[in-house]
A and B are shown apart, each in its own frame.
Chain A
Amino acid sequence: MGDSTRTTSGGIESVAETVARFRERFLEKISAGSFELPVLPEAASRVMQATADENCDARKLAEMIQRDASLAGHVLRIANSALYAPTTAIVSLQQAVSRLGMKKIKEIALLIATQTKVFKVPGYDAQVRAIFKHSIAAAAYAQEIARRRRWNVEDAFLCGLLHDAGKPVLWQLLADVQRELKLGVEPSLVEDVLDSMHAGVGAQLVESWKLPERLAETIAHHHRPQEASNVAQAAMMIQFADDLAHFAAGPREVTEEQLRAHPMIEPLNVYRDELDALLAKKQAIATAAETLL
């Protein structure tokens, strides 16, 4: 925390008390589940632009949604909400598009762009953009691994896209609580909170959108796949895709050597030439992730 002591109505509060108060408020918000995935301002404006056009290219809008973690998340949330009262539980973006039709998807996109909280945490803009970029790369890599293993490609893509969705939520929440309690938070604490909580919060988010349990479970365990009894394979795939994405698009530095010695290589049965093929996609995936942002 910033100041060592603060004056409260009850008198002087110690640092420990402040930290405790902060943590309590923060955890309160988390357990209430009263959070949403913030949308990047540029994503919102892109959607506005696309939908404002009478001849809005459905293909372009569909692609836009597919490639932005927050837009994708919100489309799924709204598609499964009472607003659209689906007779069909929507489990993937593809299904949302084909069941609801482009007209409704357009409506939903506009709704997201106008009503969703736009990400606004001074000092964390760059990190959030980096996470969104990383998410696209992870989705692309997860899709690639799933294709090779003949596992479900849609699930892989969605889990890759949303695996770090907890991070922007936590940044936003931390910022909100800071503002509320008029406190400053040390960057190291932010890191700790993010590292330890983003997988769980991401899973909670996905669950709140009524997506299949296996997706939430996969996201919850993407750093500890061995603990994901029902979705171990998928969680291992996401962990590997996560590191491949860091290698291709950052933000963390992951080297080729680290990937060649990756603990998931054996359980995922990735032979050398298959790994070579994945590594060779680095540039293409980095470029694809870059163009969106």
Chain B
Amino acid sequence: MSSPVPPSPEPIETFDVVVIGSGPAGHKATIQAAKAGKRVLLVERETNVGGACVHRGTIPSKTLRETALAFTAFRRKTGEVFPITVREDLEVASLMTRMEEVVKAHERFMTEQLRRNGATKLHGRARFLDDRTIAVEQVRGNVRRARGEVIIIATGSQPRAPADVPIDHDKILDSDSILSMTWLPRSLTVLGAGVIASEYASIFAALGVKVTMIDKGMRPLAFLDSEIADKFVAAFKRNGGCYLGGRRHVKVEWDGIDSVVTTLDDGTEIRSERLLCCLGRISNVDDLDLAAAGLAVNERGLLAVDAHCATKVPHIYAVGDVIGPPALASSSMEQGRRAVCHALGLSLGHGSETIPAGIYTIPEMSQVGLTEIEAIKKYGGCLVGRARYEELARGQISAIQDGMLKLVADPGGQRVLGVQIVGEGACELIHVGQMALIGGSDVDSFVDNIFNFPTLAEAYRVAALDIVKQRAKLFPNGLPAVMPTLDAPLKTA
């Protein structure tokens, strides 16, 4: 793949830390190292910083989602008094008029932060020459070399292109090209049922596109609590979506006229104007020549790292999507920070291992800590409190459907182990539960303290009361001692 680099007349530039890739993980690592007073080089192959998060998916898709959400919320909250439908000639671009502003603002902010902290940015593609030196090929072909005492790989990932899906980024698209569509298709087939697939499927369904999701799993988002996922599927169906689980495609083909034809293993044939392929992502490592640094990807195509994000070459770290799940912007940033702190011997602070997952489907979903199944596996049982949005004044006022919060507690019904939420505001609401987990709060603290009224956060209270009620039935003669297996001391309200 790589050809030998001709001896460059320019001397090798030296840095304390070299970061490859400027997405959330690389950007955060760069800032962290620069703030520690180190000489930092940030290499980015694209013209602008930010990576896929800013330019391809995360932020652009949320902008489209916001429009879809406003549209559906307007209909719902006004009691469907105003007859609005999405015009057929709607151009996708017109739904994202704010996108350019949003992206530019974010990018400007990131660039400014790099400048303020004195990091050096180099536009080009990095490749290892040895475990401390990289060659950076610039767009015109000239090569610059840099040496870093510490090197951080944050090159991210890209959509996987299965050999049997002829992605042309025109009629058959992936998650990098889906938002480049000119006009809103009448129908869309989505292959896959992971986070990205579910987000786009539900956004387009909310915009009136007839969406069909196809996946081998019987329900989307396998890692989610099943009750939460079922609520999502119900909402998706109400918006005209169709979920075909337990099936996979055997053939995808453009008919040359007006449809993409997807044939499934059970013989079903689905015709749609466009198809979106979301069957996993692969790490961006092809250009790196990892072998020159003594590194290789594992059987899953990922770079293996330890708890500090260090690879088997101790001064080379890997962070973000390139090391695999959870591959969230939030966790990637934290990995970037941790890698730098470890490399430079800085204190990490008191962060916890608890990472919430936010899924921007319509309705949105979020979870933190253990799910019901995980709790049963770990503690042999659990008590689960449920709050449905319909039971909340705020839920009624805002006419929110399909909202639910699940509070998972230990078998004695005292300590909070996890929270799962589906419904408007889920990704924000989850942080209340996250702080309870981190602080080791007990279930009763949600009952004994006062929340704003009317709010969705009241769901915590309703769910906690549900647990208290079950607990009273189960333990009429007083509560058992807190499970000895639960490590940290319990803080009671």
A residues neighboring B (CB under 8 Å): 58-59, 62-63, 86-92, 94-95, 97-99, 101-102, 143, 146-147, 150-155, 157, 212, 265-267, 269-272
Contacts and interface: CB of A to CB of B under 8 A. Distances in A.
Contacts of A95: 182-183
Contacts of B45: 269, 271
A155 to B, nearest CB: 6
B351 interface: no
Interface stretch (B8-16, B251-259, B382-390): B251-259
A271 B169 contact: no
A153 to B, nearest CB: 4
Nearest to A158: B182
27 contacts: A58-B256, A59-B256, A59-B257, A62-B256, A87-B88, A88-B87, A88-B89, A89-B89, A91-B182, A91-B183, A94-B258, A95-B182, A97-B257, A97-B258, A98-B259, A98-B273, A102-B258, A147-B168, A150-B56, A150-B169, A152-B180, A152-B181, A267-B47, A269-B47, A269-B139, A270-B139, A271-B125
Contact of B182 (A86, A101, A102, A152): A152
A92 B256 CA distance: 15
A153 B169 contact: yes
B46 interface: yes
A212 B91 contact: yes
Contacts of B177: 147, 150, 153
B180 to A, nearest CB: 4
A62 B170 contact: no
Contacts of B46: 269
B66 interface: no
Counting chain B CB atoms within 10 Å of each CB, the highest count among A90, A97, A143, A272 belongs to: A272
Contacts of A102: 257-258
Nearest to A87: B88
Contacts, number: 81
Contacts of A150: 56, 169, 176-177, 180
Given A150-B56, A269-B139, A270-B139, 11 more contacts: A86-B89, A87-B89, A88-B87, A89-B89, A95-B183, A97-B257, A98-B186, A99-B88, A143-B170, A150-B176, A272-B137
A231 to B, nearest CB: 11
Counting chain B CB atoms within 10 Å of each CB, the highest count among A87, A99, A102, A270 belongs to: A99
Interface in B51-95: 56, 87-89, 91
A101 B140 CA distance: 46
Contacts of B87: 88
Nearest to A261: B140
A143 B256 CA distance: 17
Interface string B157-183: 000000000001111000011001111
Given A153-B170, A270-B139, A59 B255 contact: yes
Interface of B is mostly: loop
B359 to A, nearest CB: 23
A181 to B, nearest CB: 43
Nearest to A215: B182
Nearest to A89: B89
B141 interface: yes
Contacts of B170: 94, 143, 147, 153-154, 157
Given A87-B88, A91-B91, A153 B258 contact: no
Interface in B158-216: 168-171, 176-177, 180-183, 186
A234 B257 CA distance: 26
Contacts of B181: 152
Interface in B93-123: none
A146 B170 CA distance: 10
A152 B179 CA distance: 8
Contacts of B182: 91-92, 95, 152, 154-155, 212
A-B pairs, top 3 by smallest CB distance, nearest first, are A59-B256, A98-B258, A153-B170
Interface in B246-272: 255-259
A265 B139 contact: yes
Contacts of B273: 98
Contact of B139 (A62, A87, A271): A271
A92 B180 contact: no
Contacts of B183: 91-92, 95
Counting chain B CB atoms within 10 Å of each CB, the highest count among A87, A146, A157, A271 belongs to: A271
Contact of B140 (A62, A90, A265): A265
A102 to B, nearest CB: 6
Contact of B171 (A63, A94, A271): A94
A151 B140 contact: no
A97 B186 CA distance: 13
A97 B137 CA distance: 44
Contacts of A270: 139
A266 B258 contact: no
B56 A88 contact: no
Contacts of A99: 88
Contacts of A151: 180
A262 to B, nearest CB: 10
Contacts of A97: 257-258
Counting chain B CB atoms within 10 Å of each CB, the highest count among A87, A90, A151, A269 belongs to: A269
Contacts of A267: 47
Nearest to B88: A88
A62 B257 contact: yes
A63 B256 CA distance: 8
A93 to B, nearest CB: 11
Nearest to A59: B256
B89 A58 contact: no
A56 B259 CA distance: 18
B37 to A, nearest CB: 32
A272 B139 CA distance: 7
Counting chain A CB atoms within 10 Å of each CB, the highest count among B46, B125, B256 belongs to: B256
A58 B180 CA distance: 27
A155 B256 CA distance: 18
Contact of A146 (B91, B169, B176): B169
A74 to B, nearest CB: 19
Interface in B430-453: none
Nearest to A101: B258
B253 to A, nearest CB: 12
A87 to B, nearest CB: 6
Nearest to A57: B256
